[in-house]
Amino acid sequence: MESRSSSGDMGRIASWVKSHRPMYHRATQHPFVVGISDGSVDLSAFKRWLAQDYIFVKEFVPFLASVLLKAWKHSDDESDMEILLGGMTSLSDELAWFRKEASKWDVKLVGIAPQQANLEYCRFLQSLMLPEVDYAVAITAFWAIETVYQESFSLCLDSSSKTPEELMETCQRWGSANFGHYCCSLQKIADRCLEKASSDIIRKAEEAFVCVLEHEVNFWNMSCGE
Protein backbone atom coordinates (compact mmCIF):
# COMPACT_ATOMS: atom_id res chain seq x y z
CA MET A 1 0.00 0.00 0.00
CA GLU A 2 1.37 3.37 -1.06
CA SER A 3 1.63 6.14 1.49
CA ARG A 4 1.15 9.84 0.79
CA SER A 5 4.88 10.44 1.28
CA SER A 6 5.80 7.84 -1.32
CA SER A 7 3.31 9.30 -3.81
CA GLY A 8 4.78 12.81 -3.66
CA ASP A 9 2.30 15.61 -4.45
CA MET A 10 -0.25 13.17 -5.81
CA GLY A 11 -3.42 12.91 -3.72
CA ARG A 12 -4.22 9.61 -2.07
CA ILE A 13 -6.96 8.81 -4.61
CA ALA A 14 -4.72 9.40 -7.65
CA SER A 15 -2.02 7.25 -6.05
CA TRP A 16 -4.53 4.39 -5.64
CA VAL A 17 -5.70 4.71 -9.24
CA LYS A 18 -2.04 4.34 -10.19
CA SER A 19 -1.24 1.45 -7.88
CA HIS A 20 -4.41 -0.47 -8.85
CA ARG A 21 -4.15 0.43 -12.56
CA PRO A 22 -4.85 -3.09 -14.01
CA MET A 23 -8.05 -3.47 -11.95
CA TYR A 24 -9.06 0.14 -12.65
CA HIS A 25 -8.57 -0.51 -16.36
CA ARG A 26 -10.73 -3.66 -16.22
CA ALA A 27 -13.53 -1.66 -14.57
CA THR A 28 -13.37 1.41 -16.83
CA GLN A 29 -12.58 -0.22 -20.19
CA HIS A 30 -14.69 -3.32 -19.97
CA PRO A 31 -15.65 -5.12 -23.24
CA PHE A 32 -19.27 -4.02 -22.65
CA VAL A 33 -18.28 -0.36 -22.86
CA VAL A 34 -15.69 -0.94 -25.58
CA GLY A 35 -18.53 -2.64 -27.51
CA ILE A 36 -20.66 0.51 -27.21
CA SER A 37 -17.78 2.70 -28.35
CA ASP A 38 -16.94 0.54 -31.40
CA GLY A 39 -20.60 -0.07 -32.26
CA SER A 40 -20.41 -3.86 -31.79
CA VAL A 41 -22.51 -3.94 -28.60
CA ASP A 42 -25.13 -6.65 -28.35
CA LEU A 43 -28.40 -4.77 -27.77
CA SER A 44 -29.79 -7.55 -25.59
CA ALA A 45 -26.80 -6.96 -23.26
CA PHE A 46 -27.56 -3.24 -23.26
CA LYS A 47 -31.19 -3.93 -22.34
CA ARG A 48 -30.14 -6.31 -19.57
CA TRP A 49 -27.79 -3.64 -18.23
CA LEU A 50 -30.58 -1.03 -18.37
CA ALA A 51 -33.02 -3.07 -16.27
CA GLN A 52 -30.36 -4.19 -13.76
CA ASP A 53 -28.87 -0.72 -13.39
CA TYR A 54 -32.30 0.72 -12.60
CA ILE A 55 -32.45 -1.67 -9.63
CA PHE A 56 -28.92 -0.65 -8.63
CA VAL A 57 -29.64 3.09 -8.83
CA LYS A 58 -32.71 2.68 -6.62
CA GLU A 59 -30.35 1.16 -3.98
CA PHE A 60 -27.80 3.88 -4.65
CA VAL A 61 -30.23 6.59 -3.40
CA PRO A 62 -30.29 5.40 0.25
CA PHE A 63 -26.52 4.87 0.02
CA LEU A 64 -26.03 8.51 -1.01
CA ALA A 65 -28.46 9.54 1.76
CA SER A 66 -26.17 7.75 4.23
CA VAL A 67 -23.13 9.59 2.83
CA LEU A 68 -25.03 12.88 3.19
CA LEU A 69 -25.82 12.04 6.80
CA LYS A 70 -22.14 11.32 7.49
CA ALA A 71 -21.17 14.62 5.81
CA TRP A 72 -23.68 16.49 7.94
CA LYS A 73 -22.28 14.87 11.11
CA HIS A 74 -18.57 14.80 10.39
CA SER A 75 -17.56 17.11 7.55
CA ASP A 76 -15.65 20.29 8.36
CA ASP A 77 -16.53 21.81 4.98
CA GLU A 78 -20.07 22.98 4.27
CA SER A 79 -19.62 22.69 0.51
CA ASP A 80 -19.62 18.86 0.82
CA MET A 81 -23.37 18.99 1.54
CA GLU A 82 -24.01 21.16 -1.50
CA ILE A 83 -22.06 18.84 -3.79
CA LEU A 84 -23.77 15.73 -2.42
CA LEU A 85 -27.22 17.34 -2.64
CA GLY A 86 -26.47 18.10 -6.29
CA GLY A 87 -25.67 14.39 -6.65
CA MET A 88 -29.03 13.50 -5.11
CA THR A 89 -30.79 15.73 -7.66
CA SER A 90 -29.01 14.00 -10.52
CA LEU A 91 -29.99 10.60 -9.13
CA SER A 92 -33.61 11.70 -9.17
CA ASP A 93 -33.19 12.72 -12.85
CA GLU A 94 -31.37 9.46 -13.49
CA LEU A 95 -34.29 7.34 -12.23
CA ALA A 96 -36.71 9.25 -14.46
CA TRP A 97 -34.30 8.82 -17.37
CA PHE A 98 -34.15 5.02 -16.81
CA ARG A 99 -37.96 4.83 -16.99
CA LYS A 100 -38.02 6.85 -20.22
CA GLU A 101 -35.15 4.86 -21.76
CA ALA A 102 -36.75 1.55 -20.76
CA SER A 103 -39.96 2.47 -22.53
CA LYS A 104 -37.95 3.49 -25.64
CA TRP A 105 -36.30 0.04 -25.72
CA ASP A 106 -39.39 -1.83 -24.57
CA VAL A 107 -37.55 -3.03 -21.46
CA LYS A 108 -39.59 -4.10 -18.43
CA LEU A 109 -38.50 -2.48 -15.14
CA VAL A 110 -41.24 -3.72 -12.84
CA GLY A 111 -41.06 -7.21 -11.35
CA ILE A 112 -37.47 -7.76 -12.52
CA ALA A 113 -35.28 -9.74 -10.12
CA PRO A 114 -31.76 -8.47 -9.43
CA GLN A 115 -29.11 -10.84 -10.74
CA GLN A 116 -26.41 -12.26 -8.46
CA ALA A 117 -23.72 -9.65 -9.23
CA ASN A 118 -26.25 -6.87 -8.68
CA LEU A 119 -27.42 -8.37 -5.39
CA GLU A 120 -23.82 -8.63 -4.17
CA TYR A 121 -23.07 -5.05 -5.18
CA CYS A 122 -26.23 -3.80 -3.41
CA ARG A 123 -25.26 -5.79 -0.31
CA PHE A 124 -21.85 -4.11 -0.39
CA LEU A 125 -23.58 -0.68 -0.56
CA GLN A 126 -25.69 -1.66 2.44
CA SER A 127 -22.56 -2.59 4.41
CA LEU A 128 -21.17 0.90 3.72
CA MET A 129 -24.38 2.51 4.99
CA LEU A 130 -23.74 1.37 8.58
CA PRO A 131 -23.16 4.28 10.98
CA GLU A 132 -19.79 2.85 12.06
CA VAL A 133 -18.39 3.21 8.52
CA ASP A 134 -16.26 6.35 8.46
CA TYR A 135 -17.20 9.28 6.18
CA ALA A 136 -13.77 9.01 4.47
CA VAL A 137 -14.46 5.37 3.55
CA ALA A 138 -18.02 6.05 2.33
CA ILE A 139 -17.05 9.10 0.25
CA THR A 140 -14.15 7.19 -1.31
CA ALA A 141 -16.52 4.40 -2.38
CA PHE A 142 -19.05 6.95 -3.65
CA TRP A 143 -16.37 8.73 -5.70
CA ALA A 144 -15.20 5.38 -7.16
CA ILE A 145 -18.72 4.26 -8.15
CA GLU A 146 -19.46 7.52 -9.98
CA THR A 147 -16.00 7.70 -11.55
CA VAL A 148 -16.08 4.21 -13.07
CA TYR A 149 -19.18 5.25 -15.04
CA GLN A 150 -17.68 8.63 -15.93
CA GLU A 151 -14.47 7.10 -17.30
CA SER A 152 -16.32 4.27 -19.02
CA PHE A 153 -18.92 6.33 -20.82
CA SER A 154 -16.57 9.19 -21.70
CA LEU A 155 -14.67 6.63 -23.77
CA CYS A 156 -17.82 6.26 -25.90
CA LEU A 157 -17.89 10.00 -26.58
CA ASP A 158 -14.34 10.12 -27.98
CA SER A 159 -14.15 11.59 -31.48
CA SER A 160 -12.77 8.25 -32.72
CA SER A 161 -15.65 6.22 -31.21
CA LYS A 162 -18.43 4.67 -33.29
CA THR A 163 -21.10 4.78 -30.61
CA PRO A 164 -24.55 4.10 -32.13
CA GLU A 165 -26.68 7.26 -32.22
CA GLU A 166 -29.43 5.64 -30.10
CA LEU A 167 -26.92 5.03 -27.26
CA MET A 168 -25.43 8.54 -27.25
CA GLU A 169 -27.82 9.84 -24.61
CA THR A 170 -26.76 7.06 -22.24
CA CYS A 171 -23.09 7.89 -22.79
CA GLN A 172 -23.63 11.62 -22.36
CA ARG A 173 -25.43 11.07 -19.06
CA TRP A 174 -22.23 9.83 -17.39
CA GLY A 175 -19.50 10.67 -19.89
CA SER A 176 -20.15 14.42 -20.10
CA ALA A 177 -17.64 17.02 -18.94
CA ASN A 178 -20.22 18.15 -16.37
CA PHE A 179 -20.37 14.73 -14.77
CA GLY A 180 -16.55 14.69 -14.95
CA HIS A 181 -16.39 17.94 -12.91
CA TYR A 182 -18.74 16.43 -10.37
CA CYS A 183 -16.45 13.38 -10.02
CA CYS A 184 -13.45 15.71 -9.55
CA SER A 185 -15.30 17.50 -6.73
CA LEU A 186 -15.97 14.13 -5.08
CA GLN A 187 -12.29 13.21 -5.46
CA LYS A 188 -11.27 16.45 -3.71
CA ILE A 189 -13.61 15.70 -0.81
CA ALA A 190 -12.25 12.16 -0.51
CA ASP A 191 -8.63 13.35 -0.66
CA ARG A 192 -9.26 15.99 1.98
CA CYS A 193 -10.88 13.43 4.32
CA LEU A 194 -8.10 10.91 3.71
CA GLU A 195 -5.39 13.49 4.50
CA LYS A 196 -6.68 13.66 8.07
CA ALA A 197 -7.62 10.00 8.43
CA SER A 198 -5.89 7.38 10.60
CA SER A 199 -3.93 4.60 8.90
CA ASP A 200 -6.74 2.17 9.74
CA ILE A 201 -9.35 4.34 7.96
CA ILE A 202 -6.99 4.85 5.00
CA ARG A 203 -6.60 1.09 4.70
CA LYS A 204 -10.39 0.57 4.83
CA ALA A 205 -10.94 3.28 2.19
CA GLU A 206 -8.44 1.65 -0.15
CA GLU A 207 -10.16 -1.72 0.38
CA ALA A 208 -13.53 -0.10 -0.41
CA PHE A 209 -12.07 1.39 -3.60
CA VAL A 210 -10.79 -2.01 -4.77
CA CYS A 211 -14.11 -3.66 -3.83
CA VAL A 212 -16.00 -1.09 -5.95
CA LEU A 213 -13.77 -1.91 -8.93
CA GLU A 214 -14.42 -5.65 -8.48
CA HIS A 215 -18.18 -5.15 -8.20
CA GLU A 216 -18.19 -2.90 -11.28
CA VAL A 217 -16.36 -5.55 -13.34
CA ASN A 218 -18.84 -8.19 -12.14
CA PHE A 219 -21.73 -5.88 -13.01
CA TRP A 220 -20.46 -5.38 -16.57
CA ASN A 221 -19.86 -9.16 -16.89
CA MET A 222 -23.42 -9.79 -15.74
CA SER A 223 -24.72 -7.28 -18.30
CA CYS A 224 -22.82 -9.20 -21.00
CA GLY A 225 -24.69 -12.33 -19.91
CA GLU A 226 -21.70 -14.04 -18.25
Question: What are the catalytic residues?
Answer: 216
CB of 63 to ligand NSP, least distance (A): 10
Query: Does 57 contact ligand NSP by CB under 6 A?
Result: yes
When asked if residue 145 is in the footprint of ligand NSP (CB under 6 A), the reply is yes
Strand, helix or coil for residue 114: coil
CA-angle at 141, arms to 135 and 147, nearest 5°:
130
- Smallest gap from Cβ 60 to ligand NSP, in A, equals 6
- Which position among 59, 80, 134, 146 is part of the footprint of ligand NSP (CB under 6 A)? 146
Q: Does 149 bind ligand NSP (CB under 6 A)?
A: yes
Within residues 199-218, the interface with ligand NSP by CB under 6 A covers 216
Tell whether residue 101 is a contact of ligand NSP (CB under 6 A). Answer: no
Residue 156: count of CB within 10 angstroms of its CB: 25
Whose Cβ is closer to ligand NSP: residue 145's or residue 208's?
145
Helix runs in the chain, H state only: 12-19, 21-28, 31-38, 43-74, 79-105, 116-128, 135-155, 168-175, 177-195, 199-223
Q: For residues 122 and 59, give the distance between their C-alpha atoms in angstroms, rounded to a whole number.
A: 6
The footprint of ligand NSP (CB under 6 A) covers 53, 56-57, 60, 145-146, 148-149, 216, 219
